[in-house]
Amino acid sequence: MLINKNEFRKQQLAKLRDFSQSYQKLQEDQFLQEKLIATSDFKNSVSIGITISTMDEIDTKLIINTAWQFNKQVFIPRCLPGRRMEFTQITDYNRLTKNKFGILENWQSQSTINNEPDIIIVPGLAFKSDGYRLGFGGGYYDRFLAEHDLMSISMVGSLRLIEQSCWPINDYDIPVKKLITIE
């Protein structure tokens, strides 16, 4: 049975918030990050696009720190008018500001912009096995991925992989190319 996206989003956020402080989430996040770092996509990349995670997302700090350790360029999204976004380079966690969604962004004027990183790590609340995702409702990643044909990867914890079709897929929804799961 299909549920309205906004209703399913509310239900999923409630589940994820209850789960966010659990030891199991810490274990899953660590496992998923290590699994992503072990992929040839990550190993062969020079640049990555990735968000600095919030409590509702899979942790990304190990990936970011590992990327820096191997001299990879790290780019984080920043929101633009018209529900668009671009990726700006960061070399540390300093001088970042939270946007209206609570997401850390880089607004330094000298920032390098790269909207074609080798890989892009896409967050989401829920995922289907075919790569379709339910995001946070702004459509930023769907718009971005529609304009940029990149290697898109999502890390999917146990509560995020939805076996049955629960929400409708629209023409503007763009699936990610690869899912990293706990299996």
Binding site members:
5-9, 52, 57, 133-141
The closest of 59, 70, 67 to 89, measured between CA atoms, is: 67
Q: Which of 137, 129, 173, 136 is nearest to 154 (CA)?
A: 129
CA atoms of 51 and 128, how far apart (whole Å): 21
Buried b (16+ CB within 10 A) or exposed e, 114-124: bbebbbbbbbb
Binding-site annotation: residue ranges for substrate: 52, 57
Annotated binding residues for ATP: 5-9, 133-141
